[in-house]
Amino acid sequence: MIAATVGLVACGEGFTAYERDVIHASGDGIMRVLSIADPTDSLLLRKESLPVSEQMLRSEEYALLRERMLQTVQNPEAEGVGIAAPQVGVRRNIIAVQRFDKEGEPFEFFINPEIIELLGEKADGGEGCLSVPELYGNVSRWQHIVLRYRDEQWVDHTEHIEGFTAVIFQHEVDHLSGRLFIDYLSAEGLEEPIAE
């Protein structure tokens, strides 16, 4: 654990040696998703993520991480609608979100995303998480947000996002601060899947 913690300290403008090891672990393809069921994983999921630099975005490591995160969130055995880099062991401010508010519902990547405004009303909705296996619950989320982020060309954007897609962004941005959807629930609010 000490080596892993030390390896996460940022040095310079690029990915750390620890992060590069995680990105390249097992070659390519689907990455291991950290789970709260594992004590070491749980500690890492609760840590705040670090900013991404333009140099990191232009690196081979980012390209591989991006591809592997996409394969992981689209894994037919455990599909999701969003994923954050900390969920695969890279404590960086990178998220991928399926844009249900756009034609074709594409997955897009967002670098150093920040929710800068919460607007309108909140609504309850069911949530689950790849890092919180087999637990679900109702979370009250804002239905309209203003998001500031950099795209993959390092261009700065501010965007208004509504509905279910806004909920996904709130869930994924929470991961970057070490928060999980279960933090919003009481013990009575958690649900386990019904056995068939």
Q: Is residue 149 part of a domain?
A: yes
Q: In terms of residue numbers, what domain contains 73?
A: 2-191
**CATH no. for residue 136?**
3.90.45.10
> 48, 172, 191, 192: which one is catalytic?
172
Active site annotation includes 108 = no
pLDDT in tens, 9-20: 444 579 999 999
Domain count, the chain: 1
Residues 6+ apart with CB under 8 A from 36: 42, 45, 131, 132, 180, 182
Cα angle: 55, vertex 60, 62; to 5 degrees: 70
Identify the bridge partners of residue 136 per DSSP, sorted by sequence position: 191
The answer, yes or no, to whether residue 141 has pLDDT greater than 70, is yes
pLDDT of residue 194: 41
H-helix segments, 8-142: 17-24, 39-45, 54-57, 60-73
**Mean pLDDT, to the nearest integer, of 45-52?**
98
H-helix segments, 147-194: 163-176
Q: Are 110 and 84 in contact (CB under 8 A)?
A: no
The answer, yes or no, to whether residue 187 has pLDDT greater than 60, is no
The answer, yes or no, to whether residue 182 has pLDDT greater than 80, is yes
Reduce the DSSP state of residue 99 to 3 states and report it: coil
Q: Is residue 187 part of a domain?
A: yes
Q: Is residue 158 part of a domain?
A: yes
In one-letter notation, the amino acid at residue 159 is: E
CA distance 64 to 41: 22
**Mean pLDDT, to the nearest integer, of 154-183?**
98
Query: What percent of the chain stands above pLDDT 70?
Result: 88
Q: Is residue 180 part of a domain?
A: yes
Tokens of 134: 């087999």
Q: Is residue 196 part of a domain?
A: no
Rounded to the nearest integer, the mean pLDDT of the chain is 90
Q: Is residue 126 part of a domain?
A: yes
Q: Is residue 64 part of a domain?
A: yes
**Mean pLDDT, to the nearest integer, of 176-184?**
96
pLDDT of residue 114: 98
pTM for this entry? 0.88
The answer, yes or no, to whether residue 81 has pLDDT greater than 50, is yes
Residue with tokens 């919180």: 132
Q: Is residue 171 part of a domain?
A: yes
Higher pLDDT, 3 or 111: 111
